Amino acid sequence: MATAVSANRLELLQIANLVAQEKAIDKSIVLEAMEEAIQKAARSKYGVENDIRAQIDEKTGDIRLFRVVEVVEEVEDTATQMHIDDAKKDKEDASVGDFLASPLPPMDFGRIAAQTAKQVIVQKVRDAERQRQFEEYKDRIGEVITGVVKRVEYGNVIVDLGKSEAIMRRDQVIPREHVRQNDRIRGYIYDVRRENRGPQIFMSRTKPEFMAQLFAQEVPEIYDGVIEIKSVARDPGSRAKFAVASADGSIDPVGACVGMRGSRVQAVVNELQGEKIDIIQWSPDFASFIVNALAPAEVAKVVLDDDNTRVEVVVPDDQLSLAIGRRGQNVRLASQLTGWTIDIMTEAEESERRQEEFIAQTKYFMEALDVDETLAQLLVAEGFEDMEEIAYVEAAELLNVEGFDDGLVEELQSRAVDFMNRLAAEADEKRRELGVDDELASVDGLTPQMLVALGEDEVKTMEDFAGCAADELTSPRDGILKSFDLDEGTASNMIMAARLTLGWITEADLEALVAEAEAASAAKDADSEEVSNANDVFADVTADTATDTATDTGVETK
């Protein structure tokens, strides 16, 4: 009989070792699960109200059972507590708060108890395995890994990574790519989440970062940090644009990524199922970068709107379809690559639009200044855009206009001032009709037209204005004063002045805020280069991976 018991003990330890090895978890976790299972089975025999503990010797496999009670002064639960006087009979030095363990005889597992124990062990081991998988992959987000296709379900691909599984959703699979069971497949880990059914590892073959990592593996200069990946834009399975810059002026980043006879870029193209790749030279000059990004189309002119990150691109008439691309693909990818909204027009369209603007501006000056068409056209041709410019510009600038003399300039400026005063009076009357307080009108910098805009948005008192945030006023999308030439700093100063008037803040508070803002601005200027690098989409990728290659593949490069 002793031999049988010994064999059972040995078998217990062997099972623990095998499970730990198979699931790649610590043996102590398996033994802990077994102890918990034995405890649960023992409670069903001795009573669930009792605190039963099990202990397995890691060397011999011996199983010991104990009933644990707490030593107390007043017994509330006889199953788990013992009075101090009774405890001292068993152990002389017992004190309140101690736990005493009484050994219990070994027990034989019945069918139900054994089944319960099995469920506890399986659940505990499964939880440990899930935790291991999560810990292993949570820090691998951003890596490219290889697995074997286990199955394909409704377009979603389940990938076997060895001891874990990853899912590649149908929108993360390259369109028209045929994935079959048992195929080896590479993908980019973009997320790892804890879920009820276990950790979920999400892979992608469509994300721009996947292409960036593939190039980093193929191009040693990227691995060494000599070439930096600035940004990537993809239309998966069809076309991509890839911007690179070199830290070494003697190395051509585009040529290095293409490789000898196109071998490097072709390796990436093959992995991406023939996706065409335009490799583009990045430039710190946004106008040049945008021109490069729109290649192969030729660009005649670029007009940047820095405030709204929009750019107007003018192309020759015969280049329009090439610049836009099939179904707008070329301009869409260029916009994603540069981060700017790109508006494309032909030279003929631009000429027509400018003509319309010229006519409209001429008509405005004619009506506002009560002058003839020729005089108004001269003002527009000289670059004057609004009445304020004419009213307050140095007289010498107007005298530079051919045919203008002192008397004409004085009369024009006088009429411009009268026109602006008339508009201000009309706006002030409308402001009063809207119920905007005179106190709010006293805030320095708020024009009558601004007050009308505020009143139409129900900002009518000093308190209303003081409660605003600067971006509520200046946001290009939905700011109350977005149609006025007002920057966020000026708006912030006006709001602070209103709060100071109301007593919400003191002069000392205002000085502290100004000093803090100046310090932050100085720190920002000092770190501008570092901040710029941190904001580059793929700055981290360039410090991570890599190989050497070339140009004759039919892949377009710029």
pLDDT in tens, 139-185: 888 888 899 999 898 888 999 888 788 889 988 999 888 888 888 99
Category of 157 on φ-ψ map: left (φ > 0), alpha (ψ -120 to 50) or beta: beta
In this prediction, residues 76-99 reach a mean pLDDT of: 73
**DSSP one-letter string for 469-534:** -HHHHH-TTT-TTTTS---HHHHHHHHHHHHHHHTSS-HHHHHHHHHHHHHHHHHHHHTHHHHHHH
pLDDT greater at residue 11 or residue 151:
151
Does residue 413 carry a pLDDT above 90?
no
Tell me how far apart the alpha carbons of residues 538 and 93 are, in angstroms, rounded to a whole number.
67
Q: Which one, of 524, 521, 495, 522, lies nearest residue 510 by Cα?
A: 495
Tell me how far apart the 2 most distant CA atoms of the chain are, in Å.
127
Does residue 481 carry a pLDDT above 60?
yes
H or E segment to which residue 35 belongs: helix 27-46
Question: What's the 3-state SS for 220-272?
Answer: HHHHCCCEEEEEEEEECCCEEEEEEEECCCCCCHHHHHHEECCHHHHHHHHHC
Does residue 300 contact residue 291 with C-beta atoms inside 8 Å? no
Which of 69-78, 200-209, 275-284, 416-425 shows the lowest per-residue confidence on average (mean pLDDT)? 69-78
pLDDT at position 498 is: 86
Distances (CA, A) of 149 to 178, 271, 514: 12, 16, 60
Percent of the chain at pLDDT above 70? 79
Give the pairing type, strands 341-346 and 310-315.
parallel
In this prediction, residues 314-342 reach a mean pLDDT of: 89
State the burial class of residue 316 (Cβ atoms within 10 Å of its Cβ: 0-12, 13-18, 19+).
middle
pLDDT greater at residue 451 or residue 83:
451
Does residue 534 carry a pLDDT above 80?
no
pLDDT at position 111 is: 54
Does residue 48 contact residue 39 with C-beta atoms inside 8 Å? no
H or E segment to which residue 38 belongs: helix 27-46
pLDDT at position 402 is: 78
Does residue 192 contact residue 137 with C-beta atoms inside 8 Å? yes
Does residue 446 carry a pLDDT above 80?
yes
Q: What band does 538 get if pLDDT is binned at 50, 70 and 90?
A: very low
Does residue 240 carry a pLDDT above 50?
yes
Return contacts of 447-452, CB within 8 angstroms, 24+ apart. 447/484, 448/423, 448/424, 449/423, 449/424, 449/484, 450/481, 450/484, 450/486, 451/427, 452/427
In this prediction, residues 480-507 reach a mean pLDDT of: 83
In this prediction, residues 249-277 reach a mean pLDDT of: 89
pLDDT at position 36 is: 73
Q: What is the dihedral of CA 299, 303, 305, 310, to 10 degrees?
A: -20
Q: What band does 241 get if pLDDT is binned at 50, 70 and 90?
A: very high
Distances (CA, A) of 494 to 477, 498, 499: 21, 6, 9
pLDDT at position 346 is: 87
Q: What band does 550 get if pLDDT is binned at 50, 70 and 90?
A: very low
- Give the phi and the psi of residue 281 in degrees, each rounded to 5: -75, 120
pLDDT at position 233 is: 92
pLDDT at position 243 is: 92
Tell me how far apart the alpha carbons of residues 118 and 33 are, in angstroms, rounded to a whole number.
10
In this prediction, residues 81-97 reach a mean pLDDT of: 73
pLDDT at position 547 is: 35
Q: What band does 136 get if pLDDT is binned at 50, 70 and 90?
A: confident
Does residue 3 carry a pLDDT above 70?
no
Which residue in this structure is represented by tokens 């072709």?
Answer: 266
Tell me how far apart the alpha carbons of residues 84 and 95 are, in angstroms, rounded to a whole number.
7
Tell me how far apart the alpha carbons of residues 55 and 66 are, in angstroms, rounded to a whole number.
8
Does residue 115 carry a pLDDT above 70?
no
Residue ranges of domains in the chain, CATH in brackets: 2-133 (3.30.1480.10), 138-206 (2.40.50.140), 298-369 (3.30.300.20), 370-502 (no CATH)
Q: What band does 7 get if pLDDT is binned at 50, 70 and 90?
A: very low
Rounded to the nearest angstrom, the gap between the alpha carbon of residue 400 and the centroid of all alpha carbons in its chain is 52
pLDDT at position 70 is: 76
Q: What band does 30 get if pLDDT is binned at 50, 70 and 90?
A: low
Q: Which one, of 381, 383, 387, lies nearest residue 369 by Cα?
A: 387
Does residue 351 carry a pLDDT above 90?
no
pLDDT at position 10 is: 56
pLDDT at position 332 is: 92
Give the pairing type, strands 99-104 and 144-153.
unpaired
Does residue 159 contact residue 203 with C-beta atoms inside 8 Å? yes
Distances (CA, A) of 77 to 43, 87, 97, 116, 537: 16, 15, 14, 27, 63
Mean pLDDT over each residue of the chain, to the nearest integer: 78
pLDDT at position 536 is: 44
Does residue 296 carry a pLDDT above 70?
yes
pLDDT at position 528 is: 45
Task: Give me 17's structure tokens.
Answer: 């070792």
pLDDT at position 117 is: 56
Give the pLDDT confidence of 502-514 residue by residue, as tens digits: 888 888 877 777 7
Q: Which one, of 496, 434, 486, lies nearest residue 460 by Cα?
A: 434
